[in-house]
Amino acid sequence: MIMPPTERESQAQARARPAADRAPGPAERAAPAAGPAAHGAEHEPQAVAERYARRAGLARDRYSLLNPDVWQTVQERQRAMLRLFARLDWPDLTSRRVLEVGCGSGGNLLELLRLGFTPRNLAGIELLPERYAQALAALPASVVLMQGDALQVKLPDESEDIVLQSTVFSSLLDAPFQWKLAQAMWRWVRPGGGVLWYDFVYDNPRNPDVRGVPVARIRELFPHGRMTVRRVTLAPPLARAVCRVHPALYTVFNALPLLRTHVLVWIEKPLLR
């Protein structure tokens, strides 16, 4: 369940309205018959929390921006996003509304602020209370933050220019829950906007708590979207190894697309005709 809003979250009341006041979105009116059923999906949020708890023992400095492999990964993704916004002919990002599903401690929203988005037009949903608290501490007060299961959030249809997910779906091992979340995200996107997706496509044999999401699966989740796919991110174990030799080797190895493990995907919602 979504926690009651704090004083800082009062702006979320203007962004959201009760589900009874919301007309069914396109994905609700015409969900494909082949879409997975919702059986068992209600248990997935708790399972996700347990998976993250098991990862708590990982060395925190592995993802520090002081590491050459990390800052090069981040900068590569930022460059790809900026090229995307330029291709969309969005020269002024200040008016664009963005919702991040699974905003963690707020790192991606901070990146968007640096790229030119306005705090009052940014929002995030985070399942884990400790990460939500970190995001509250890190982000400007005008960024709307909500804590809980994203499927319980009631937002207006077609209200966001971008709905962002970054390495969230690879942590969702329940296919019906993936489907339901994808449909909610699609419903929140306005025509002409889109879902911005960053995640890895291959399974990690050392981590059974995650699963790669191939491009074919992304197409299944968003069958009505127009997809633009860009392969990014040198395989992290390889990136760490080569950067220990010299940071410049990241670019050398990343020149080979087969060594990239992630995709940055723009899933555009067509304009109404």
Helix, strand, or coil (residue 154): coil
pLDDT at 89 over 60: yes
Contact 166, 242 (CB under 8 A): no
Residue boundaries of the structural domains of the chain: 58-91+155-268
Q: Is residue 230 within a helix (H) or strand (E), and if so which, with residue range?
A: strand 226-234
261-273: pLDDT as tens digits: 999 999 999 997 6
The CATH number of 58-91+155-268 is 3.40.50
Give 58's pLDDT tier (boundaries 50, 70, 90): low
DSSP 120: G
Which pLDDT value is given to residue 59? 56
Query: What is 20-74 written as a DSSP string?
Result: GGSPPPHHHHT--TTSPP-TTGGGHHHHHHHHHHHGGGS-GGGG-TTSHHHHHHH
What's the CA gap between 255 and 29, in Å, rounded? 43
